[in-house]
Amino acid sequence: MFKSDKKLVFFIIILLFLSFCYGFISHKSKIFPYSVLKNFSNTISPDSINTKNDQILRDKYKNWNNINKNFKPIHKVFLKNYYPGINIYSDRHYYNHVNDNKLKGFGVIQLLKHQSANIELTSYNEIFVYRALCKHNNNNRYKDWEKVDFKILIITHSCIFEKLVKKKFNKGKIILRAGGPKSSDPIFVFNEKEGLKLEIDEPNVNIFITPTK
């Protein structure tokens, strides 16, 4: 009985050693099963799933990349009243595709699509600031923001924005980060009772980053 147990232990040790050797060789040489496991991992990874979902939306909204006839790219930050079809960024033609009625009375701060500078505002009354979220961006800074109960749909080359979060700010100086790293996070502002009494402090345009997409 004792000899039988020793043989079993020896067999298990040999099997583990051979498995380790083959695993090392398959990883180094990228052969089966490494290639299969790698492809499976890529298929089920969150980034891969998000990218596939993005493409589904781009295929559904085939006009997402159509340029507005009145669009003229300007490397500057603007505050404008929201209306259906307005470009969300000052230097890109992307616009919102759904729930325009939910954004009635809102203002949109047209920042640059790829911006590194903070957005500095002066508000003369209390306002709600809304930020649109993209799954490819770092959204940790919005953990303490309130989720909004309706969606939007801003489709761009690098990001698709569907979810909104909001936060109430008192009157005075407001400093907002641009967002990223894939794209600036769109900004909407709203005051239901008094309307917007808001100014944008002029930033240094030299610290804007503006890739081609």
3-state SS track over the chain: CHHHHHHHHHHHHHHHHHHHHHHHHHHHHCCCCHHHHHHHHHHHCHHHHHHHHHHHHHHHCCCCCCCCCCCCCCCCCEEEECCCCCCCCCCCCCCECCCHHHHCCCEEEECCCCECCCEEEEECCCEEEEEEEECCCCCHHHCCCEECCCCCCEECCCCEEEEEEEEEECCEEEEECCCCCCCCCCEEEECCCCCCCEEECCCCHHHECCCCC
Q: pLDDT, tens digit, for every residue of 162-192?
A: 999 999 999 999 999 999 999 999 999 999 8
- pLDDT, tens digit (0-9, with 9 covering 90-100), for 52-99: 889 999 999 999 999 877 788 888 899 999 999 999 999 999 999 999
Q: Are 145 and 167 in contact (CB under 8 A)?
A: yes
Residue 210 banded pLDDT, cuts 50, 70, 90: very low
Give the Cα separation of 171 and 191 in Å (integer): 11
**Nearest CA to 129 among 71, 86, 189?**
189
What's the whole-number average pLDDT of the chain?
82
pLDDT in tens, 8-52: 666 677 777 666 665 555 555 555 554 544 454 444 445 655 678
Q: What is residue 175's predicted lDDT score, i.e. its pLDDT? A: 96
pLDDT-derived band at 209 (thresholds 50, 70, 90) equals very low
42-69 in b/e burial notation, b at 16+ Cβ within 10 A?
eeeeeeeeeeeebeeeeeeeeebeeeee
**Of 156 and 68, more confident:** 156
Dmax over Cα atoms in the chain, in whole Å?
Answer: 89
pLDDT at 67: 83
- Encode pLDDT of 95-130 as tens digits: 999 999 999 999 999 999 999 999 999 999 999 999
Show the tokens assigned to 1.
């009985």
188 touches 143 (CB < 8 A): no
Residues 6+ apart with CB under 8 A from 114: 180, 183, 184, 208, 209, 210, 211
pLDDT of residue 204: 45
